[in-house]
Amino acid sequence: MGSPKKEIMCADKTVVCISGMAGTGKSTLAKKLARKYNLKYYSGGDALKELAKQEGYDVSVNGWWETPVGLNFLNKRVNDPKFDMAVDEKLLEYSKQGDVLLDSWTMPWLVKGGFKIWLQASFTKRATRVAERDGISFQEAVKVLEEKEAHTKAIYKALYGFVLGEDLAPFDFILDTDNLNADEVFEVLCRVMDNIVLSASSS
């Protein structure tokens, strides 16, 4: 990990990126942190779902990305990078405004400065969480996660040259969530915000 006070501010305003593979709880935690610290919340996944909706997909199903329809849109993205590039361009614009929390798989590599958090969890733990969240079997969760993550990694490797989930060089703080519940992870991240991110911005 890099120095915890390295380029934490962009344009004198807070920029936090939270990332992690499916099943790490990143989106739920990112939204809670944004509310607590009065940061504007932007999600790359939500923006992609909005584009999918415009393409005629029904994105209302819980755990949509792991459904056959969600995986179908993922295959479409593999063959046409315009969706991901449009979302990333929008998120980069938001990052320049400052006082934002970006829930994204790409922004940690694309945003200069800011404070970047990676939530780590084993594949088994993540598959278990996805199965419970979406009401599917563990075996089905393993299958869809493997397919989803292989395609997603291929997209970002082709577009930006990094390997999602393996190249963790951009991150200032990495937290293993395997043995922590959501409240415990939130407590740790609040300490990081209070003692590193916000204290650096006021110093």
Residue 133 lies in a domain: yes
Residue 174 lies in a domain: yes
Domain containing residue 194 = 9-202
Residue 4 lies in a domain: no
Query: Radius of gyration of the chain from Cα atoms?
Result: 16
Residue 104 lies in a domain: yes
Residue 97 lies in a domain: yes
The CATH number for 140's domain is 3.40.50.300
Burial category of 195 from C-beta neighbours within 10 Å (exposed 0-12, middle 13-18, buried 19 and up): exposed
- pLDDT tens digit sequence for 75-85: 999 999 999 99
CA dist 49 and 165 (Å) reads: 21
CA dist 70 and 76 (Å) reads: 10
Domain count, the chain: 1
Residue 2 lies in a domain: no
Residue 1 lies in a domain: no
**Mean per-residue pLDDT for 43-47?**
94
CA dist 157 and 153 (Å) reads: 6
Residue 3 lies in a domain: no
137 φ/ψ angles, rounded to the nearest 5 degrees? -75, 160
Position 171 pLDDT exceeds 80: yes
Position 6 pLDDT exceeds 90: no
Where does the pLDDT of residue 199 fall: very low under 50, low under 70, confident under 90, or very high at 90 and above?
A: confident
Instruction: Determine how β-strand 40-43 pairs with β-strand 173-176.
Output: unpaired
